[in-house]
Amino acid sequence: MATTQRQIDLLTGNEAVSAAVKQIRPDVIAVYPITPSTHIAEMLAQAVDAGELDSEFVKVESEHSAMATCIGAVAAGGRAFTATASQGLLYMAENIFWAGYGRLPMVAAVVNRALAPGWSIWVDHQDTMAMRDAGWGQFYVKNNQEAYDTVIQAYKIAEDHNVYFPFMVALDGFVLSHTASPVEFLTQEEVEEFVPPFNPLFRLHPSEPMSFGAISKPDEYIAMREDLMKSMERAKKVIQDVNIEFAKKFGRDWGGLIEVVGPEDAEIGIVTMSTLAEEAEVAAEQLTKEGMSTSVTRIRSFRPFPGEELAKQISKYDIAIVIDRAISFGNAGQIYIETNSALRDYDVDTKLIGTVMGIGGQDIAYGDIIERVKNLTKKA
């Protein structure tokens, strides 16, 4: 660990994200306000106004335009950032796919919030889950420190030429975005050393006329999508390497693709994401004390999906409970569906049970998770 004296402050999730973005210093920040991500826009706009941050802050008229502005900025060889939530992410959707399929690396903080109708400003993961096929990487963080660290890591990963696609950093609305907890900062020098300046693979410029996204014949189109799929595969190693480098330099290890907390030889596994996973760590300790040896397998990177790593970990359990905070209506929770498919791919026969908790902002305490695990394992 470095000996540098680092500052610690009490930050909400939104403040943690903004702090990281200020140190990343994007060329362009384009944000449209939406609860619960609005503070991010406010804090960054104020920093630009005050001259603390030398970014172009574009006060766009919609989320669709926020993402479009980021797209233009990255295609010009700039670094871009946006933040949104819920309906805002859905309004952006067309351009979210444009950025993903267009291979325009950038970072978007998505403060997870349920979708209407039935207005709900509280957390669930339906918004980001709806974007899981957009060609973006998706990180789901469990606390404010990880939100800060992951925004910084995400730029390094997205801009890596072996990766080169955009990333979302998803944090739970209110549960993280508005809740204060201690966050340790890296120094500006550390951030700049860890995330080198953006070196674009391509940019549009009059000196070299070319067309971005012109009409493509099926073979050309397929080649581009195959390349995206391969890059997603390559990204897995980059994510792990960046996590290791970060841990070595700054002392915090978030697990890379997945994080396992609890006894090595646990019989029961809880597979989930975000704050539910950290809450589940407490539940697992309690269950283990009560004689039901349990550990938590947290999916940190939902895209690329760590199928192999998950299957390997789950194969150690007798039974695994997957907790989703979103639903693919007509089927099941998305984590459950994808985990189940990974188990089949790698011939793992651990019993897998899916369950949904905490949608529409339902408050989930570790006691609720204990109860759910007990009920489901009893039935199994």
Partner 1 sequence: MVKLKELIEIEATYVGNMKGNLACAGCGLNLALRHALAALDQHALLVVPACCTSVIQGFGEGYGINAPVFNSAFAASPAVASGFARVYKKKDPSVQVVVWAGDGGTADIGLATLSGAAERDEDIIYVMYNNEAYQNTGDQKSGATPPGAVTTTSSGEKRPSKSVSRLMITHGVKYVATANTAYPLDLYDKMKRAYEEFRGHFRFIEIYAPCPAGWNVDPRYTAKVGKLAVETGYWPLYEAVDGKITLSRQGRRFLDPEKRKSLEDWLALQGRFKKIKPEFLEALRQDIDHSWEFVKKHMAE
Partner 2 sequence: MLHEIAIIGRGGQGVVSMAKMMAYAALMEGKHGSAIPKYGAERRGAPVISSFRISDEPLRMHSQIRKPDHMIILEIGALPKLIPPQPLKDNSIVAVNYPSTPNIMAKYNPSIVAYLDAAALARKVGLVRSGIPIPSVPMMAAFAKASGLLQQESLIKAVPKLVRNEEMIKINIEAIKKAFEETEVKKFDRIEESTPVA
Task: Give me the residues that bind partner 1 (CB under 8 A), please.
Answer: 27-28, 30, 56, 58-62, 64-66, 68-78, 80, 94-95, 98, 204-206, 208-217, 220
**Is residue 181 at the binding interface for partner 2, with CB under 8 A as the rule?**
yes
Annotate each residue in 67-106 with x if it binds partner 2 (CB under 8 A) or - if it does not, as one string. ----------------------------------------
Query: Which of 26-34, 69-77, 279-287, 325-333 is the region at the interface with partner 2 (rule: CB under 8 A)?
Result: 279-287
61 touches, from partner 1, partner 2, none (C-beta below 5 to 8 Å by class):
partner 1
Counting other chains too, the contacts that 241-244 makes at CB distance below 8 Å and 24 or more residues apart are 242/153, 242/156, 242/157, 243/153
SS3 78: coil
CB of 215 to partner 2, least distance (A): 47
CB of 32 to partner 1, least distance (A): 10
The C-alpha atoms of residue 25 and residue 45 are separated, in whole angstroms, by: 13
Query: Which of 25-33, 178-186, 213-221, 240-248 is the region at the interface with partner 2 (rule: CB under 8 A)?
Result: 178-186
Longest Cα–Cα distance in the chain: 69
> How many residues in the shown chain lie near partner 2 by CB under 8 A?
25
Nearer CB in complex with partner 2: 148/165: 148
The C-alpha atoms of residue 365 and residue 296 are separated, in whole angstroms, by: 15
Annotate each residue in 107-146 with x if it binds partner 2 (CB under 8 A) or - if it does not, as one string. --------------xx--------------------x---
Q: Quote the DSSP letter at residue 3.
A: -
**Is residue 179 at the binding interface for partner 2, with CB under 8 A as the rule?**
yes
Nearer CB in complex with partner 1: 219/349: 219
85 touches, from partner 1, partner 2, none (C-beta below 5 to 8 Å by class):
none
Q: Which residues, in sequence order, are bridge partners of residue 297?
A: 260, 271
Query: Which residues inside 147-176 make contact with partner 2, applying CB under 8 A?
Result: 172, 174-176
Two tokens at 181?
């907890």
Contact 166, 104 (CB under 8 A): yes
Q: Count Cβ atoms within 10 A of the Cβ of residue 219 and give its class: 0-12 exposed, 13-18 middle, 19 or more buried.
A: exposed
Closest CA to 298 of 324, 277, 315: 277
25, 64, 178, 252: residue in contact with partner 2 (rule CB under 8 A): 178
121 touches, from partner 2, partner 1, none (C-beta below 5 to 8 Å by class):
partner 2
SS3 354: strand
Counting other chains too, the contacts that 201-206 makes at CB distance below 8 Å and 24 or more residues apart are 201/103, 201/161, 201/164, 203/75, 203/76, 203/77, 204/75, 204/76, 205/76, 205/77
**Is residue 256 at the binding interface for partner 2, with CB under 8 A as the rule?**
no
167-172 vs 107-112, strand pairing mode: parallel
Q: Residues interacting with partner 2, by CB under 8 A?
A: 8, 10, 36, 121-122, 143, 172, 174-176, 178-182, 275, 278-279, 281-282, 363-366, 368
